[in-house]
Amino acid sequence: MWQLKLRLILPGAQLAIAALLLHWGYVAYLPKGFDTAYVPTGRLICDGINAPARLLTNLVEVLLPEQWRWSITGSRGEILLFFTCVALLWYLIGRELDLHRPSEAGTQARVTPVAFFFNAFLALWGMLLTVSSVINFGHLQVLGRWNNFVGNIVEGVLYWAWSLILIIFPAVTLVNAIRNKDRVPGISA
């Protein structure tokens, strides 16, 4: 029987949503009278929905050599890099959802050493998103970091939700692997 492959559907759907939100941000009415930068709500929502991808994009931009960074940041190159990270993020989510179909719920998942370190990496990524969320909420007293109070709240809540997801799910996987170490190859006491 043919099954819906979420690893193929989710990246395309999320790229379309991200493109629409970014377009909304570009055509949004920009308030006048601010002497600091303003980021539209659509852009902040897009960043929040794709928080792990935004964090990865920012990390890649920082790690680029100085001569490349100037030509990538703030240009179409930055958007292409962000879209690549969005597609990768939602492909991985779709793959995980495809692997854990309800029909396979009774089977015990194997946790190899590579999977163990990947789950630890995801938990660390979740902690970085927690820091980003706290920074977002810390700037709310002064109208917000990007002169967009509502956008900052929405983005901060989405970052916080992602951080919880990226901390809790890998932690549960690791605890189950350690608890079932006798039945799962690759984990030793």
Q: Are residues 94 and 126 in the same domain?
A: no
Highest mean pLDDT among 6-20, 52-66, 99-113, 152-166: 6-20
Q: How many domains, in total, are found in the chain?
A: 2
Q: Are residues 156 and 88 in the same domain?
A: no
Q: What is the average per-residue pLDDT within 89-98?
A: 90
Name which residue leads in pLDDT, 139 or 99: 99
Q: Are residues 146 and 96 in the same domain?
A: no
**Residue 79: predicted pLDDT:** 87
Q: Are residues 84 and 156 in the same domain?
A: no
pLDDT digits (tens, 9 = 90+) for 131-148: 888 877 776 655 556 677
**Residue 74: predicted pLDDT:** 56
Q: Are residues 46 and 17 in the same domain?
A: yes
Domain boundary among 101, 121, 142: 101
Domain boundary among 101, 127, 146: 101
Q: Are residues 26 and 62 in the same domain?
A: yes
**Residue 184: predicted pLDDT:** 46
Range of the domain at 120: 110-189
pLDDT category, 8, cuts 50, 70, 90?
A: very high
Q: Are residues 92 and 29 in the same domain?
A: yes
Name which residue leads in pLDDT, 175 or 66: 175
**Residue 104: predicted pLDDT:** 47
Domain boundary among 41, 74, 101: 101
Burial class (CB in 10 A: 0-12, 13-18, 19+), 62: exposed
**Residue 66: predicted pLDDT:** 66
Q: Are residues 187 and 114 in the same domain?
A: yes
**Residue 84: predicted pLDDT:** 94
Q: Are residues 76 and 122 in the same domain?
A: no
pLDDT category, 13, cuts 50, 70, 90?
A: very high
Residue 65 — left, alpha, or beta (φ > 0 → left; ψ -120 to 50 → alpha)?
beta
